[in-house]
Amino acid sequence: MQHKNIFGRIAYTSKKPEMMDKPRGYESFHITKHADGNKTIRAHCEIEEPAPTVMRDIIYSCDEKYAPMDCHVRLTVGDEFMGSGWFLFKDGTIECESFGPDTGRISQVRDTEGPFDLFGTHPIVADAFNCRALDISGGPTKRNMRCFVPSPDHRGATPPMVAEVNIDLAYIGDEEKTVAAGTFQCRHFQFSDSGGGMGDHPAYDVWVTADEDCLFVCGGVGGYMQTWYELVELSRD
C-alpha cells in the first residue's frame, strides 16, 4: 500500500459539577494520507449530553495543500434522521446537494467571493486539523478566520447547508501533554467567537501534535458548556 493510515478514538467528558469527568460521548476517526498528498478524514461522532443526542458521520477530503475538495455529512439528532449533504469545492465555488425531512431537497452553488481560511466540519479531529491554517512561524499570534461550515450550530446539529462564519484562532505556545493514548509534544491553540458567528461559543482550547499530522490530543470548552475531550486510542501505519 502506498497510502498511510491513522486510527484513533477521542473520549467526550463533562466538567460540569454534577457530571464531573463522566462520559458524554465519543469520536472515532480514520485518516488516510494518500501518496499524491491528498488526505481523507472519516469521523463518527456521538454526543449524548446535552439532549437532544447527536450522531454525525463525516467523510472529508483535502488536497496536498490542505485546500478542501469534497465532504459528505450525515446527521441523526434525537435518534431521528436530520439530514444528509454532499459538498464540492471547485473553481471558487462551493456546491451542496442536501436532503432533510424538514427541508426537502436543497441544491446550492455558493461563490466564495475570494479566498477563505478553512472549512469546519465539526468533528474534534477536524478542528485540530484546521489549526494548520494559522501561520505560527513568528510565534504566538491571533487572527480572525473566514470559514465555511455545513452548519452554524456549535454542535453541527442542523441539516447540512453552506454557511459562512468568522472565528478567531490563536496560537498560545508549545507544551507537553500526557493523555490515555500517550505523551505528546503539542501546540496549544484557542478558538474564540468574538463576533457570535457560532452562537456565542465560549473559548475552545485545543492541544494538537507538533508534527505534520496535527492530531488532536486534548482540549475543552469553558463557559456554560464545560466540556472536555481527550485522545484515548491512537495507531499509525
The pLDDT assigned to 196 comes to 55
**Which DSSP string corresponds to the chain?**
--SEEEEEEEEEEE-SGGGTT-EEEEEEEEEEE-TTS-EEEEEEEEE-SSSSPEEEEEEEEE-TT--EEEEEEEEEETTEEEEEEEEEEETTEEEEEEEETTTEEEEEEEE--S--SEE----HHHHHHHGGGS--TTSSEEEEEEEEES-SSTT--S----EEEEEEEEEEEEEEEEETTEEEEEEEEEEE-TT-TTSSPPPEEEEEESSTT--EEEEEE-TTT-EEEEEEEEEE-
Q: Which three cell numbers stand for residue 130?
A: 484546521
Q: Is the pTM of this model over 0.85?
A: yes
The pLDDT assigned to 197 comes to 58
The pLDDT assigned to 68 comes to 97
The pLDDT assigned to 198 comes to 56
Q: The domain containing residue 218 runs over which residues? A: 4-236
The pLDDT assigned to 184 comes to 98
Per-residue pLDDT tens for 182-196?
Answer: 999 999 999 998 665
Say which CATH number the domain at 118 has.
2.40.360
The pLDDT assigned to 199 comes to 57
The whole-chain average pLDDT of the chain stands at 95
What stretches in the chain show pLDDT beneath 70? 194-199
**How many domains does the chain fold into?**
1
